[in-house]
A and B are shown apart, each in its own frame.
Chain A
Amino acid sequence: MIRLIEKTPCEALLPVTCGALTLREIVGDRVTSVAPLKGQGAKLATALKKLGLGWPAPNTAIASATAAILWTGRDQAFLIGADPEGLDGLAALTDQSDGWARMRLEGPGAADVLARLVPLDLRGFAPGQAARSQLGHMMAILTAPEKGSFDIMVFRSMAETAVHEIHHAMKAVSARAAL
């Protein structure tokens, strides 16, 4: 039997470009929520080290060449781009690969774009940092692939609104820059 058709959250929505700013979808990575079970924190950290990562402190992200783990809340982190090998029994794991629209905002003024939508000071936001906050009225997770660029995660169902709002802010920032 033919396998079911796959659709990405931002299909037909991205990429969009505005002046030197671009917003594109990030697809394909496996995303697993990792919540340490009681008393398993140390063992979990060790297991994550074997994956080339570790347990991230609040507001931080740890990245290896191929994977990353982001702090996403109280007793919770998202493992991205790696299988959660060796974490069974140490952490509550859930598959979140399909639950989020992930997109990357790049270009000069990217922080200004998010300053229209996110109530955080993102001017110095850099690799190693992670923030869970809001984008417009949507809960969002932010990381920096490099300084001045942003990886943004919002709930999959809100992809269209998120793209619309970010694109709107991109247009406003570009129009200002062109003055």
Chain B
Amino acid sequence: MRIAGRGLVDRGTTVGFRFDGREYTGFQGDTLASALLAGGNRLFGRSFKYHRPRGVMTAGSEEPNALVTVGQGARAVPNVRATTQEIFQGLMAQSQNRWPSLGFDAMEVNDLLAPFFSAGFYYKTFMWPRAFWEKLYEPLIRRAAGLGALSGRHNDEPYEKAFAFCDLLVIGAGPAGLMAALTAARAGAEVILADEDARMGGRLLAETEEVGGKPGHAWVAEVLDELGALPNVRLMVRTTVTGAYDGGTFGALERVGLHLANAPADLPRECFWRIVARRAILASGAHERQIAFPLNDRPGIMTAGAVRAYLNRWGVAAGRRVAVFGNNDDAHRTARDLVAAGVEVAALIDVRDDAPQPAGYRLIAGGQVTGTRGRLGLREITVTTPSGEEKIEVDCLAVSGGWNPALHLACHMNGRPAWDEGIAAFVPKPGMVPGLTACGAAAGVMTTAGALADGRRAAEAALSDLGREAAAVDLPQAENGGARIRAFWEVTGGKGRAWLDFANDVTTKDVRLAAQENFRSVEHMKRYTTQGMAPDQGKNSNIAALAVLADATGRAIPETGTTTFRPPYVPVSIAAMGAGGQGAGFAPQRFITSHRASVERGAPMIEAGLWYRPSYFPRPGEKTWREACDREVMAVRQAVGVCDVSTLGKIDIQGRDAARFLDFVYTNTFSSLPVGRVRYGLMLREDGMVLDDGTTARLGETHFLMTTTTAAAGLVMRHLEFVHQAHCPDWDVRMISVTEQWAQFAIAGPRARDLLNSMLLAPLDEGAFPFMGCGGIEIRGVSARLFRISFSGEAGYEIAVPARFGEGLFRDLVARAESMGGAAYGMEALNVLRIEKGFITHAEIHGRTTAFDIGLQGMVSKKKDCIGKAAGERPGLSGPEREQLVGLRPVQPAKGFGAGAHLFEKDAKPVSANDQGYVTSVCWSPTLKTHLGLAFLKNGRARHGEVVRLVDHLRGTDIPCEVVNPVFFDPEGGRARD
């Protein structure tokens, strides 16, 4: 019901929206909760476990009951608090956890079964039979209990994340936060003021009190005007600071487009901020708490502060006839405001015998609410006093059990708060989060005047830490009445359950049962009852539940302790936190210069780390990848093939000590390598396992070019930097990646030289480029580097040109190769060619193989130290017990098998106890007309000629294979040298 002349909504702008299909109207500035309350709607949802009818309880993000789904289809957002969702024209909201409708919910039967659903009922009930849990119980429970659900479809709306930096982050823009921000801003500090509400001002928007001789909201507007005009201030409205992290970093969730009708397509719906602040002030206010009395969960029972907020900020009376129930002076403010607005106040029930005598409404001092009635909304309350019992007809009960400082962020780094007897609540202790100070109600300062002064004090302290002088800021006049309170948690008389955690349906009985069953630690009680584990994370229930547990276990509250507060303070959508990581945004894509040309030829591009490389180049008529691959392999073996090998890491190493450095990082010697020559090198980790392999060219006396495998390029760079900086920083060595500078192509096959010569002005000087030679040449007007190296076993070269020429060179090379009966070849053919030659890749050097295992122990120089040498010489890293690299040929050549298969002695049972090794790489060799495999086999080098059993339990393979030399093709290597 709207009250004329009250509230800060824009009554000139009407907004139409739908809730559960029904049309409503509200005003600009309304939340879904305020607009529905104004429309007389009290029923918002169904409870988690018992499907009890529930109404709105609060006016903020701590709301436990009024959770709705906003939007439709893939874009629907579930579990939105009706208390924070601003209405907009065309808004569609649905209630949750009910079937078929909110008014009639078939699952309400759960409420009748409540005696069976007490704390720990899952653990007691669904123990047997065991198999039923996964198949029957869990799906059933999940369907019956729960919140809103996602659509399961891809949401294409944009979300974003961003970084922000400031001297001072002020969290909360109530009186304390505004005063802190003003004080710091006037002193010139870079200030971010973040507030989760759509409008800044905090409780000053919800109360009738004056600040500085004007209405509180008017003072707020003046301060915001001043702050908004300052270049050193950033006002972040609709932004909830969700977590405090190390090093002054805070997470914050900004609602950017979720409150707008027809939000522009590119406008992010939410933004997840990482705010780095040198200092922070927590001015997050306080949450009013409920009192646990019988049947205290009916729609229409709300916190007293929320009733005031709906009245004063939104001009909405939460009921026609209202009662107030409280244990403190603040409750009386609610009755006064209602009376002043012309709303009937049936009575104020104060548990204190000595409650202050009011004017204008009836006081029941020393009374308690001991029962309620009204299935879908409150109709009546029962009040018990020492003199008897009275039933009062009301449709709204405003409850105040006192206020809990919203200290959550102060506890995010595991700090423990202190109990303050004066306000019967926990307050933050200084230093719980380095650089963060709480002030105002968040620090237990419960008057407006106190909050203003405390905000200024906190800002002055922060300015002093920042080395800035505070400018003079006057404190405005404000309310300074102390609010007396008598700690009161639970009505023990009356009949019916008394709720603590509304969101998770946890009652006082559940907490007492937990204590009785010896879950006496607050952490155990929480997990046994699920109190505090709902979306509100116990904001409404933690302290009361703790008080009940303390009572049940005969301890004081501070002795009982609190549970741990963890980020996030409010739920954060994964879409916001993971913004930018959808689809291809998950990781950068690296494209080779021949990418476009490869795609034009129909090559499927496959991932190799972040790179995309062509798998094969299909030709018309080829039906499978194998046909293309076989053709490409034979093109290399018989004519010439061209392959983009730019993805291999290239590290330029220079300096007087470059050769010495290479001797230290490689097992073999590079100081003896002549200029203009290339050598294969093996690199170990310090623990003796193979790190990487590749070729390194000596371009000059003090200038080397190292190549790494594609997979290990970053790893090797990091390793080299480590070795240099940790072990020999004084050596004259400089290194830098030149991977991206050069596009490099392998030209391999008997006609490789012909192809190359067709592009040169004069034929290649054979003497200058012997096998494993390198040097500069000019190709089609461009300076290039030529390396006579081969990963295919054929005569071949690799030619590198500055990347701008990569695409042009690739197209030319392929065209020429094709005219000579050759072809472009992709990763599949590359793999077959190297397996035929027994060359290893990271399938073999997978981190658990030693130089001995791959048969390269002879490459570990005895004349010098190197990384990994000492550890590699440990017993157990060499010898017959090791699994050693071998080749495998199936006894029947046509029998294929897969990598990952295991090896067993011919007659052994294929069980792990008999395991002899495993297969790392496989292919069909079109050259040798047989399947081939590389494998590691125990004592394998001594077992050439033996037939072993190859078993793959996953693929159902079981075939005999002959153990052979891993170099299947041209073992003498004459073809490459030719």
A adjacent to B, CB under 8 Å: yes
Chain A interface residue count, CB cutoff 8 Å, equals 56
* Cβ-defined contact, B740 with A100, below 8 A: yes
Q: Does A75 contact B (CB under 8 A)?
A: yes
Q: Which residues of A contact B266 (CB under 8 A)?
A: 171-172, 174-175
Nearest residue (CB) in A for B647 is A157
Q: Does B611 contact A (CB under 8 A)?
A: yes
A98's contact among B160, B256, B654, B804, by CB below 8 Å, is which? Answer: B804
Some 10 contacts from A to B, beta carbons below 8 A apart, are A1-B780, A4-B801, A76-B736, A92-B654, A96-B736, A98-B804, A121-B163, A164-B585, A171-B266, A175-B264
Q: Does A169 contact B (CB under 8 A)?
A: yes
Q: Which residues of B contact A161 (CB under 8 A)?
A: 584, 588-589
Give a binary string over B631-666; 1 marks a CB under 8 Å from any A CB, 0 the rest. 000000000000000000000101110000000000
Q: Which residues of B contact A97 (CB under 8 A)?
A: 741, 802
Docked complex Cα distance between A162 and B593 (Å) = 16
The smallest C-beta distance from B817 to any residue of chain A, in angstroms, reads 16
* Cβ-defined contact, A1 with B163, below 8 A: no
Contacts beyond the supplied A5-B807, A7-B804, A138-B588: 16 A-B pairs with Cβ under 8 Å: A2-B781, A35-B734, A94-B741, A98-B742, A99-B741, A115-B162, A119-B274, A136-B585, A136-B588, A172-B160, A174-B266, A175-B264, A175-B265, A176-B267, A178-B264, A179-B267
Q: Which residues of A contact B181 (CB under 8 A)?
A: none
Q: Which residues of B contact A100 (CB under 8 A)?
A: 740
Give a binary string over A1-21; 1 marks a CB under 8 Å from any B CB, 0 the rest. 111111111000000000000
The smallest C-beta distance from B114 to any residue of chain A, in angstroms, reads 48
Interface residues of B (CB under 8 A from A): 158, 160-165, 256, 264-268, 274, 276, 580, 584-585, 587-593, 611, 652, 654-656, 703, 730-732, 734, 736-742, 759, 761, 779-782, 801-809, 812
Docked complex Cα distance between A116 and B925 (Å) = 50
Q: Which residues of B contact A179 (CB under 8 A)?
A: 264, 267
A3's contact among B580, B731, B781, by CB below 8 Å, is which? Answer: B781
Nearest residue (CB) in A for B590 is A157
Docked complex Cα distance between A94 and B761 (Å) = 27
* Cβ-defined contact, A6 with B808, below 8 A: yes
Q: Which residues of A contact B163 (CB under 8 A)?
A: 115-116, 118-121
Docked complex Cα distance between A7 and B596 (Å) = 12
Q: Does A37 contact B (CB under 8 A)?
A: yes
* Cβ-defined contact, B734 with A37, below 8 A: yes
Query: Known contacts A76-B736, A98-B741; is A123 also within 8 Å of B165 by CB?
Result: yes
Q: Does A158 contact B (CB under 8 A)?
A: yes
Q: Which residues, 100 to 131 on A, are CB-close (under 8 Å) to B? A: 100, 115-121, 123
Docked complex Cα distance between A170 and B408 (Å) = 35
Q: Does A33 contact B (CB under 8 A)?
A: yes
* Cβ-defined contact, B805 with A1, below 8 A: no
The smallest C-beta distance from B725 to any residue of chain A, in angstroms, reads 8
* Cβ-defined contact, B741 with A95, below 8 A: yes
The smallest C-beta distance from B846 to any residue of chain A, in angstroms, reads 25
The smallest C-beta distance from A131 to any residue of chain B, in angstroms, reads 13
The 8 closest A-B pairs by CB, nearest first: A3-B781, A5-B808, A92-B654, A99-B740, A92-B734, A121-B165, A38-B732, A157-B590
Q: Which residues of A contact B654 (CB under 8 A)?
A: 35, 37, 92
* Cβ-defined contact, B591 with A157, below 8 A: yes
Docked complex Cα distance between A97 and B742 (Å) = 10
Q: Which residues, 145 to 179 on A, are CB-close (under 8 Å) to B? A: 155-162, 164-165, 168-169, 171-172, 174-176, 178-179
* Cβ-defined contact, A160 with B734, below 8 A: no
Q: Which residues of B contact A98 (CB under 8 A)?
A: 740-742, 802-804
A-B contact count (CB 8 A): 150
* Cβ-defined contact, B803 with A4, below 8 A: no
Interface residues of A (CB under 8 A from B): 1-9, 33, 35-39, 75-76, 91-92, 94-100, 115-121, 123, 136-138, 155-162, 164-165, 168-169, 171-172, 174-176, 178-179
The smallest C-beta distance from B752 to any residue of chain A, in angstroms, reads 19
Q: Which residues of A contact B593 (CB under 8 A)?
A: 7
* Cβ-defined contact, B591 with A160, below 8 A: yes
Docked complex Cα distance between A33 and B737 (Å) = 10
Q: Which residues of B contact A8 (CB under 8 A)?
A: 804
B587's contact among A137, A164, A175, by CB below 8 Å, is which? Answer: A137
* Cβ-defined contact, B162 with A157, below 8 A: no
Q: Which residues of A contact B264 (CB under 8 A)?
A: 175, 178-179
* Cβ-defined contact, B590 with A115, below 8 A: no
The smallest C-beta distance from B319 to any residue of chain A, in angstroms, reads 37
B738's contact among A3, A39, A94, by CB below 8 Å, is which? Answer: A94
Docked complex Cα distance between A35 and B732 (Å) = 11
* Cβ-defined contact, A38 with B656, below 8 A: yes
* Cβ-defined contact, B805 with A6, below 8 A: yes
* Cβ-defined contact, B655 with A116, below 8 A: no
Query: Known contacts A5-B807, A8-B804, A138-B588; is A35 also within 8 Å of B736 by CB?
Result: yes
Docked complex Cα distance between A2 and B779 (Å) = 10
Docked complex Cα distance between A53 and B158 (Å) = 44
The smallest C-beta distance from A171 to any residue of chain B, in angstroms, reads 4
A95's contact among B703, B730, B781, B802, by CB below 8 Å, is which? Answer: B802
Docked complex Cα distance between A169 and B161 (Å) = 10
Query: Known contacts A1-B780, A115-B164, A137-B587; is A38 also within 8 Å of B655 by CB?
Result: yes
Q: Which residues of B contact A7 (CB under 8 A)?
A: 593, 804, 806-808
* Cβ-defined contact, A37 with B276, below 8 A: no
Nearest residue (CB) in A for B760 is A1
Nearest residue (CB) in A for B658 is A92
Q: Which residues of A contact B741 (CB under 8 A)?
A: 94-99
Nearest residue (CB) in A for B740 is A99
Scoring B268, B655, B730 by chain A CB atoms within 10 A of each residue's CB, the highest score goes to B268
The smallest C-beta distance from A105 to any residue of chain B, in angstroms, reads 15
Q: Which residues of B contact A123 (CB under 8 A)?
A: 165
The smallest C-beta distance from A136 to any residue of chain B, in angstroms, reads 6
Docked complex Cα distance between A37 and B703 (Å) = 12
Q: Which residues of A contact B802 (CB under 8 A)?
A: 95, 97-98
* Cβ-defined contact, A94 with B580, below 8 A: no
Query: Known contacts A37-B655, A157-B592, A175-B267; is A1 also within 8 Å of B759 by CB?
Result: yes
* Cβ-defined contact, B580 with A4, below 8 A: no
Nearest residue (CB) in B for A120 is B163
Docked complex Cα distance between A87 and B160 (Å) = 45
The smallest C-beta distance from A57 to any residue of chain B, in angstroms, reads 18
Scoring A76, A94, A96 by chain B CB atoms within 10 A of each residue's CB, the highest score goes to A94
Q: Which residues of A contact B584 (CB under 8 A)?
A: 161, 164
Q: Which residues of A contact B740 (CB under 8 A)?
A: 98-100, 155-157
Query: Known contacts A6-B805, A37-B732, A155-B740; is A172 also within 8 Å of B164 by CB?
Result: no
* Cβ-defined contact, A4 with B805, below 8 A: yes
Scoring A7, A9, A98 by chain B CB atoms within 10 A of each residue's CB, the highest score goes to A98
Docked complex Cα distance between A21 and B217 (Å) = 38
Query: Known contacts A38-B655, A94-B736, A158-B589; is A172 also within 8 Å of B781 by CB?
Result: no
Nearest residue (CB) in A for B732 is A38
Q: Which residues of B contact A6 (CB under 8 A)?
A: 804-805, 808
Q: Which residues of B contact A95 (CB under 8 A)?
A: 738, 741, 802
Query: Known contacts A35-B736, A96-B738; is A156 also within 8 Å of B803 by CB?
Result: yes
Scoring A99, A115, A120 by chain B CB atoms within 10 A of each residue's CB, the highest score goes to A99
* Cβ-defined contact, B734 with A99, below 8 A: no
The smallest C-beta distance from A40 to any residue of chain B, in angstroms, reads 9
Docked complex Cα distance between A169 and B759 (Å) = 45
Scoring B267, B703, B740, B812 by chain A CB atoms within 10 A of each residue's CB, the highest score goes to B740
The smallest C-beta distance from B86 to any residue of chain A, in angstroms, reads 14
Nearest residue (CB) in A for B784 is A4
* Cβ-defined contact, B736 with A3, below 8 A: no
Q: Which residues of B contact A92 (CB under 8 A)?
A: 652, 654-655, 703, 734, 736
Docked complex Cα distance between A72 and B161 (Å) = 26
Scoring A115, A138, A172 by chain B CB atoms within 10 A of each residue's CB, the highest score goes to A172
Docked complex Cα distance between A2 and B809 (Å) = 12
Docked complex Cα distance between A130 and B590 (Å) = 25
Query: Known contacts A4-B782, A37-B655, A99-B741; is A75 also within 8 Å of B592 by CB?
Result: no
